Every structure is written in structure tokens, then in C-alpha cells.
Amino acid sequence: MKVLVTGATGFVGSHLLDLLLKMPQIEIHATRRWASRMTLVEHIEGVETRIRWHLCELGDPFSVDGVVSSVKPDRIFHLGAQSFVSPSWGAPETCFRTNVMGTLYLLESLRRNELAATRVLLPGSGEEYGDVPEAELPIRPETQLRPVNPYAVSKVAQDLLGYEHHKSYGLQVIRVRAFNHEGPRRDCVFALPSFARQIARIEAGPAPPVITVGNLDARRNWTDVRDMVKAYWLALEKCPPGELFLIGSRQILTVRECLEKMLSMSPKKELISIETDPALVRPTEPMRLEADVEPFGDLTGWTPEIPFEQTLRDILEYWRSRVSLERRQP
């Protein structure tokens, strides 16, 4: 089986490679951009010997078609995306070029190369549902979409392109919307890694004992990324093409509760104060992204295995090691 991973050098992609490298029966292909940093994957055992790397720019249809036509994959995990919400307000065209046009180029390449049997995973986001009223919780696939940022709109478009290509051309598109997933290796522009980095810097000194935050009151389903990539594998193997499934754990916490749990793991917890930075507060923020994840688990047998407290601890340990390395460098 030939498996192609787009966006393989990113946060989720690196953890998916960890999983795929444990499967000796598959041939792994992965894309990276000219400007891609290999920092997250360079220390993964087997990353150079078992993975066949392809240079690919998702915004270039010829680049995308070149990879698809040469590999002719049996499975595709389409993880290549602009995945951070905040920049999508400042550069929506970049977000759409990558998330929407990149997906269109991939699907069109599958169509032109007559790869209708190739199963392709299009991971969406809980952000697509936007500001859901309390009375409509938990979120289900049919819940009305109310996206409140350009990133979410781009993911809606990506998902609908997949549905349309499944209906129009019979492509084996697997549609999922993944709710919040976290773990080590995530960039500190995101909330939980940002908290962990700030705690680590305070512990290492001499940073002032203050953590700056944005909105802490949003509620989310939280899943460890290492469980999420297992869900992605099961989705490609077991979910019917064209149908939509929501993926996430049953662990629902506010961002504030996540921060409090992480602070409890620090020996400096009694000294640390929290301050809101207006620059970190988004123009709009979905306050309730809580999904009904039972159907996916019932179909695939997937159950998250890693307690979220362990996820938070692993994030904190990752950033402790990063901060320690930063301090040793000249």
C-alpha cells in the first residue's frame, strides 16, 4: 500500500509519520515545501530511510499533479494546510490559496489521473461550526455552520469540494471534522504551547512570573494528537466515502481549566500570575465547540487512550527541553 502524506513536516503530520513508521507493510511518501523546516521530523527514526520525500507546493497545480501522478497513492492524508486561525484575518488570500485551492488541485489531480479508488482523508475543523448556541449542543454533523473567521470558511470550502468531487466523480473522499487536538511539537503561537513555553521560561529564570493569555473561557473537546492520528488512520480504513464524521474525545474543558492544570504541574505555581493581553484576544471566538463524537467511535472502535492530563504534562516537558536548549545556545 502506498500512503501519501501532505503537510508531513507539520505538527500533526510529524505524529502521523510516527504512527505510519510502525507499519512495515506500507510504502510512505510525504510532501514538503521548498521552505519547509524539517525540525519536527528530523529526529524521527526511519524518517530518511523509509520515507520518500517529494517537494510540493500546494498552491501550484503542476507541483501537486507531479507528485500524485508519480506516486499514484492508495491512501492520502491531506494534512497540508494553513492551520492557525489568527493569521487568516490578516492574510485570508494565503489561507484560501493553501486550504481551498491546494485541496482542489489535489482532487482534480486524482480525477485526471483516474485514481478514483484512492482513499483521501480531508480533515476539517470544529471551527467550521463557529458560534453555536448552548441549546444546539452537542454539535452534530448536521448542526448549522456559522464560521466566524476566514480559516473556518476555508475549511468549509475544502470539505464541500471533497463532497462535490465524491458525488460528481466518485472519488473516495473521507470527510471528518477534528476538534481540538494537542501534544508535544506544536508551535507556541497556539494557546496551550504558549502557556507551556511561558511556564518553562519562568521556571528557568529570570523571566517575570507572569503568563499573558487571550480568551480563557472557550470550551472545547480536547484530544491528544497521538490519539487523533490513530483516528485518522481508522477513518481512512473504515468510514464510508462522502459521509461526515466528528472526531474528538469526551474530555471537555475550558482553556482556563487547561491552564490551571498545567500550572499545577509547576514548582513555581504559587508565584505565577495571569494577565490578559488584548493582542491575544481574537476578533471573534467560538465559545462552545463541544461535539457528539459517539458515531465515529461506534463505527471504528476508536477510543482515546492518553489522558489529557498526560498530554498537558508532555507539552510542558517538551517546552522545558526547548527552553533549556535555547539557553545553552550562544
Beta-sheet pairing, 181-182 with 172-178: unpaired
Alpha-helix runs per DSSP H in the chain = 11-20, 61-71, 87-90, 92-96, 102-112, 150-169, 191-204, 225-238, 255-263, 294-300, 308-328
pTM: 0.96
Is pLDDT of 326 > 90? Answer: no
- C-alpha cell belonging to residue 96: 484560501
Using DSSP, state whether 3 is helix, strand or coil: strand
Q: What is the mean pLDDT of residues 189-209?
A: 96
Q: Rounded to whole angstroms, how far apart are CA atoms 125 and 291?
A: 11
Closest Cα partner for 202 from 192, 210, 194?
A: 210
CATH of domain 2-181+222-247: 3.40.50.720
DSSP designation for 82: -
Question: Start-end ranges of CATH 3.90.25.10 in the chain?
Answer: 186-220+251-285+307-328
Tens of pLDDT, residues 60-117:
999 999 999 999 999 999 999 999 899 999 999 999 999 999 999 999 999 999 999 9
Which residues 6+ apart lie within 8 Å of 160 measured at CB? none
Is pLDDT of 206 > 90? Answer: no
Is pLDDT of 41 > 80? Answer: yes
Question: Start-end ranges of CATH 3.40.50.720 in the chain?
Answer: 2-181+222-247
Tens of pLDDT, residues 278-287:
999 999 999 9
- The yes or no reply on domain 186-220+251-285+307-328 and CATH 3.90.25.10 is yes
Which residues 6+ apart lie within 8 Å of 295 measured at CB? 245, 246
Q: Rounded to whole angstroms, how far apart are CA atoms 227 and 248?
A: 9
Using DSSP, state whether 275 is helix, strand or coil: strand
User: Percentage of residues in the chain with pLDDT exceeding 90?
Assistant: 93
Is pLDDT of 34 > 90? Answer: no
Q: How confident is the model at residue 314 (pLDDT cuts 50, 70, 90)?
A: very high
Q: How confident is the model at residue 191 (pLDDT cuts 50, 70, 90)?
A: very high
Is pLDDT of 155 > 90? Answer: yes
Is pLDDT of 329 > 80? Answer: no
* Dihedral sign for Cα atoms in the order 167, 173, 174, 180: negative
At residue 51, φ and ψ (nearest 5 deg) are -100, 130
Region at 148 (left for phi over 0; alpha for psi -120 to 50; beta for the rest): alpha
Q: Which amino acid is at 299?
A: L
Q: What is the mean pLDDT of residues 8-29?
A: 97
Is pLDDT of 330 > 80? Answer: no
Using DSSP, state whether 201 is helix, strand or coil: helix
Q: What mean pLDDT, rounded, does the chain reach?
A: 96
Q: Rounded to whole angstroms, how far apart are CA atoms 154 and 15?
A: 24
DSSP designation for 100: I
Alpha-helix runs per DSSP H in 149-188 = 150-169
Which residues 6+ apart lie within 8 Å of 16 measured at CB? 5, 8, 77, 79, 229, 232
Is pLDDT of 174 > 80? Answer: yes
- C-alpha cell belonging to residue 314: 508532555
